[in-house]
Amino acid sequence: MIYPAARILAIETSCDETAAAVLENGRVLLSSVVASQIDLHQQYGGVFPEVASRQHIITIYDVVEQALQQAYLSLDNIDAIAVTRGPGLAGSLVVGMNMAKGIALGKNLPLIGVNHLEGHIYSSWVYSSEVPNPPPIPEFPLIALLVSGGHTEINLMGGHLHYKRLGGTLDDAAGEAFDKVARLLGLPYPGGPSIQKAAMNGNPNAYNFPRANLDGSLNFSFSGLKTSVLRMVRELEKSRSRLPVEDLAASFQQAVVDVLFKKTIQAARQHKVKNIIVAGGVSANQLLRDTFLGQTNFNIFIPPFKYCTDNAAMIAAAGYFRFVNNLIDPLDIDVLPNWPLS
Ligand code: KG4
Ligand code: ZN
């Protein structure tokens, strides 16, 4: 199907990244600016919501202006404004939403509220205008594994914007487990990259941490795994002067990746689907990427690193498909901090 040409300016402020991007025709990225607040939050060991929203206020104008400049465009060349409506931190979402509404009102442009999780999935459509050959487009039906700091779920997509939730975490999200276990091991926030780095020098078979099977369902549970790491840390602290952080990190990472991979493949087999998208911040994990890309029975779509963690390019991609399906929002929409995908 041929979709109409359109340029989307997107804004993302759901958590601790202030981001804006310009995307053409749902795929071609003209610019993407991400101002990370990690340095600000590191001292708290996690995201401090009020600090996050106030930093978005300071940064948002410059970030949007830079996104337009880097695309060599002005607002006169934009067809619609997409913005993350939820889920996320209310005070952070409001900043991006109000910026988007201001632009939409001032320039008489359509406003499109985008689900952040939908954005993560659509990051697989995005490619830079600078690459010589466009990567293949994910084809439906597909299984989307979404693994971020706040969410872990498997969805079946029969077509654009259609999600059937097949399973999800019953407790912690995968990224949350990385962040909590990193803290246990004395590694800095955000935990995912810290654990990955420590694990590079560790033995993934040093400790046999649990892989929750949950009666063969497509649900996940990571709290038992986290507790198991905690118990092991307490035990080791009694007998050793230095924790084997590398082995603990590698064994934990292996346990998370094993269960994410196994259940996603199970979902694809059960629904006779050939195509799999892996998206969300945890999809930046090298072991997870290598594990999915290392098998040949399914077509795997994992975005390049820079589009795995929070960014606005993915919001623009999802926004484009909403725009071409006439899913335009009125200017009085509120943010939805707990907005589910399906
Ligand atoms: O998608 P994201 O940027 O924000 C949310 O929507 O939550 O995901 C952030 C999460 C954090 O929990 C972070 O620790 C995790 O993604 N993460 C990783 C890696 N990079 C980021 N987890 C494992 N390995 C990584 N390399
Ligand atoms: Zn995210």
Is residue 258 one of the residues assigned to a domain?
yes
Is residue 272 one of the residues assigned to a domain?
yes
**Residues 119, 51: one domain?**
yes
How does pLDDT run across 290-307, given as a tens digit for each residue?
A: 999 999 999 999 999 999
Provide the sign of the torsion angle of the four alpha carbons 265, 266, 269, 272, taken in this order.
Answer: negative
Q: Decide whether any atom of ligand 1 lies within 6 Å of the 303 Cβ.
A: no
- pLDDT at res. 342: 87
Which helix H or strand E contains 300, and what residues bound it?
Answer: strand 299-301
Domain containing residue 196: 142-302
Is residue 338 one of the residues assigned to a domain?
no
**Residues 79, 177: one domain?**
no
How far is the C-alpha of 143 from the C-alpha of 312, rounded, in Å? 23
Residue where the block lists tokens 């299984």:
143
How many C-beta atoms surround the C-beta of residue 4 within 10 A? Answer: 10
- pLDDT at res. 1: 64
Ligand 1 centroid from CA 141, angstroms? 26
Ranges of the chain with pLDDT below 70 = 1
- pLDDT at res. 43: 86
Q: Judge residue 234's burial from the number of C-beta atoms within 10 Å of its C-beta, 0-12 exposed, 13-18 middle, 19 or more buried.
A: exposed
**Residues 116, 24: one domain?**
yes
Q: Judge residue 136's burial from the number of C-beta atoms within 10 Å of its C-beta, 0-12 exposed, 13-18 middle, 19 or more buried.
A: exposed
Instruction: Write the CATH number for 154.
Output: 3.30.420.40
- pLDDT at res. 4: 83
Q: Decide whether any atom of ligand 1 lies within 6 Å of the 282 Cβ.
A: yes
Query: Is the previous residue joined to 190 through a cis bond, with omega within 30 degrees of 0?
Result: yes
Q: Phi and psi of 287, rounded to 5°? A: -65, -40
Question: Are the CB atoms for 17 and 36 separated by under 8 Å?
Answer: yes
Q: Decide whether any atom of ligand 1 lies within 6 Å of the 88 Cβ.
A: no
**Residues 100, 169: one domain?**
no
Atom of ligand 1 nearest to the CA of 256: 23
Residue minimizing CA distance to atom 16 of ligand 1 = 281
**Residues 179, 60: one domain?**
no
Q: Decide whether any atom of ligand 1 lies within 6 Å of the 190 Cβ.
A: yes
Domain count, the chain: 2
Q: Decide whether any atom of ligand 1 lies within 6 Å of the 179 Cβ.
A: yes
**Residues 101, 165: one domain?**
no
**Residues 212, 316: one domain?**
no
**Residues 99, 238: one domain?**
no
Ligand 1 centroid from CA 300, angstroms? 19
- pLDDT at res. 241: 81
Is residue 87 one of the residues assigned to a domain?
yes
Ligand 1 centroid from CA 282, angstroms? 4
Ligand 2 centroid from CA 179, angstroms? 14
Ligand 2 centroid from CA 240, angstroms? 38
Q: Decide whether any atom of ligand 1 lies within 6 Å of the 285 Cβ.
A: yes
Strand-pairing partners, residue 165, are: 155
Is residue 315 one of the residues assigned to a domain?
yes
How far is the C-alpha of 102 from the C-alpha of 120, rounded, in Å? 25
Ligand 2 centroid from CA 241, angstroms? 37
**Residues 181, 297: one domain?**
yes
Is residue 234 one of the residues assigned to a domain?
yes
- pLDDT at res. 41: 87
Give all strands of the β-sheet with 7-12 in edge-to-edge order: 111-115, 80-86, 7-12, 17-24, 28-36, 127-128
Question: Are the CB atoms for 152 and 192 separated by under 8 Å?
Answer: no
Question: Are the CB atoms for 32 and 323 separated by under 8 Å?
Answer: no
**Residues 103, 148: one domain?**
no
**Residues 179, 275: one domain?**
yes
Give the closest residue to 189 by CA, choosing from 37, 308, 304, 1.
37
How far is the C-alpha of 317 from the C-alpha of 267, rounded, in Å? 25
Q: Decide whether any atom of ligand 1 lies within 6 Å of the 15 Cβ.
A: yes
Residue where the block lists tokens 């050939």:
274
**Residues 86, 216: one domain?**
no
How far is the C-alpha of 14 from the C-alpha of 188, rounded, in Å? 22
